[in-house]
C-alpha cells in the first residue's frame, strides 16, 4: 500500500483519477483490476491530533490566570 497525490480529470459526467506509473508498477496494478482508494480532498487537522497527548500539570483555569497576569490583564 502506498500514498499518492493525484489530480482529478473530467471524464464524461464523472471525474477520473490517473494513477501514476510508479504506483502502477509498485502495486502491480492491471487494467480492469479492482482497487481500493482512500479519498481525502482536504487534509484535516484536529486539535486533539496536535494537543491530544499532552498532559498539563495545571488546570486550564490556572493556565488562563497565569496568561492574564503575564499580559497585565488581571
The answer to whether residue 64 is domain-embedded is: yes
pLDDT tens digits, 3-47: 888 889 999 999 999 999 999 999 999 999 999 988 888 766 666
Is the pLDDT reported for residue 53 higher than 90? no
The answer to whether residue 60 is domain-embedded is: yes
The answer to whether residue 2 is domain-embedded is: no
The answer to whether residue 33 is domain-embedded is: yes
Which residues are paired to 9 by β-bridges? 16
Which residue range(s) make up the domain with 54?
Answer: 8-70
Cα separation, 2 vs 52, whole angstroms: 27
Number of domains in the chain: 1
- H or E stretch covering 68: helix 60-70
The answer to whether residue 55 is domain-embedded is: yes
The answer to whether residue 65 is domain-embedded is: yes
The answer to whether residue 20 is domain-embedded is: yes
Amino acid at each position: 500500500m502506498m500514498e499518492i497525490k493525484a489530480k482529478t480529470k473530467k471524464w464524461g459526467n464523472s471525474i477520473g483519477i490517473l494513477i501514476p506509473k510508479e504506483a502502477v508498477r509498485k502495486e502491480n496494478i492491471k487494467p480492469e483490476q479492482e482497487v481500493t482508494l482512500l479519498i481525502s480532498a482536504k487534509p484535516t487537522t484536529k486539535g486533539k491530533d496536535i494537543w491530544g497527548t499532552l498532559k498539563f500539570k495545571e488546570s486550564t483555569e490556572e493556565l488562563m490566570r497565569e496568561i492574564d497576569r503575564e499580559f497585565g490583564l488581571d
